[in-house]
């Protein structure tokens, strides 16, 4: 395996160097910006979490100033799987066919599967490490103002997709998708386009069905009792009023508060109010579910690549038996 790993390092050293430059640049920028942000935060900011937190003008100014840069870093982490699949996975095998070296490569003594293990194994190791570093940088920078006032929240697409274990397994899925696309198309540019679609479509689908994986938390308040503050929870958009029978009516024709709300509730016979939301603690169950989905997809695509490269099993030639031939008289 040493020979295949040496060859893999030699062939991919340019990509490894580019990845290192990207990570170092992002890390330096994050350290610099985070230091400036934490230095500007007022000492009361830990008590101002959630949409209903204290309205501190100094804190609001800091949150609004750094929301954009944090989101930009999170977007880099979010698109990282697609970039890995397009620029690392797609050329991994497609370039052999474009350069006309696939016959020589696949006929090496090590065999196509050992060569694939060296190349794809090194690429997967670098991909997982790079995705983990980017996710950690986003989470570290975001942590001081996480879920604060109007700042980035855990359920925002950039934050959720750019942090956590799902971002790492999604990057591995992107690498596997690019490798398979390159093997099937045998052309780098078409493989890159196919990889972009292969990564974007599942991500958009999972983004849309994310609220369906777990049930939201039901929060009720009897009568005119003030509703529980939503805080850092993710609203499901499902709210309404409680009926005397214990049912829930999704009728939004009453004002939010005051004497008019009381009269409206009495006229309809409502006994209280409710709303459903996902607390911030749901971040990890949702991340675990999506990380598992991406990992299964990555393993399945890698298995397809192995199957396509596996040399066909030789079929023994049928035995030929000598049969006596009748002599022909001359």
Residue 328 confidence (pLDDT)? 39
Lowest-confidence pick of 8-22, 216-230, 243-257:
243-257
**Rounded percentage of the chain residues whose pLDDT exceeds 70:** 82
24-37 pLDDT, tens digit per residue, is 999 999 999 999 99
Distance in angstroms (rounded) separating the CA atoms of residues 302 and 297: 9
How high is the pLDDT of residue 50?
80
Residue that the structure tokens 């579910």 belong to: 289
Q: Going by C-beta distance under 8 Å and a sequence separation of 6 or more, which residues neighbour residue 250?
A: 238, 239, 240
Backbone angles phi, psi at 183, to 5 degrees: -70, -35
∠ at Cα 49 (46, 50), nearest 5°?
180
pLDDT at 218 over 50: yes
Instruction: Specify the DSSP class assigned to residue 163.
Output: S
CA distance 8 to 105: 12
Structure-block tokens of residue 105? 């490569």
According to the model, what pLDDT value does residue 81 have? Answer: 97
């Amino acid at each position: 395996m040493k020979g295949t790993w040496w060859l893999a390092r030699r062939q991919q050293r340019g990509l490894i160097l580019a990845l290192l430059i990207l990570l170092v640049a992002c890390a330096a920028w994050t350290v610099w910006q985070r230091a400036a942000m934490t230095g500007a935060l007022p000492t009361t900011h830990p008590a101002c979490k959630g949409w209903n937190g204290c309205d501190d003008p100094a804190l609001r100014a800091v949150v609004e100033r750094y929301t954009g840069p944090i989101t930009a870093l999170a977007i880099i982490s979010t698109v990282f799987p697609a970039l890995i699949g397009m620029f690392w996975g797609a050329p991994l095998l497609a370039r052999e066919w474009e350069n006309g070296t696939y016959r020589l490569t696949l006929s090496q003594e090590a065999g196509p599967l050992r060569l694939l293990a060296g190349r794809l194994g090194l690429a997967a190791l670098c991909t997982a490490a790079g995705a983990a570093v980017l996710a950690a940088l986003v989470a570290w920078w975001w942590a001081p103002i996480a879920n604060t006032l109007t700042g980035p929240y855990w359920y925002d697409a950039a934050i959720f997709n750019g942090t956590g274990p799902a971002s790492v397994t999604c990057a591995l899925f992107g690498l596997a998708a690019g490798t398979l696309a390159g093997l099937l198309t045998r052309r780098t540019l078409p493989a890159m386009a196919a990889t972009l679609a292969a990564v974007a479509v599942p991500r958009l689908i999972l983004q849309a069905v994310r609220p369906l994986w777990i049930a939201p938390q039901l929060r009720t308040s009897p009568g005119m009792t003030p509703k529980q503050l939503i805080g850092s929870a993710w609203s499901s958009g499902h709210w309404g009023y409680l009926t005397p029978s214990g049912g829930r009516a999704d009728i939004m024709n009453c004002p939010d508060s005051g004497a008019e709300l009381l009269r409206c509730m009495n006229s309809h016979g409502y006994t209280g109010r409710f709303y459903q939301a996902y607390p911030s603690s749901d971040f990890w169950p949702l991340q675990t579910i999506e990380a598992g989905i991406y990992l299964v997809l990555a393993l399945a695509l890698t298995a397809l690549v192995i199957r396509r490269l596996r040399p066909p099993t030789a079929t023994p030639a049928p035995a030929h038996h000598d049969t006596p031939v009748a002599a022909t008289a001359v």
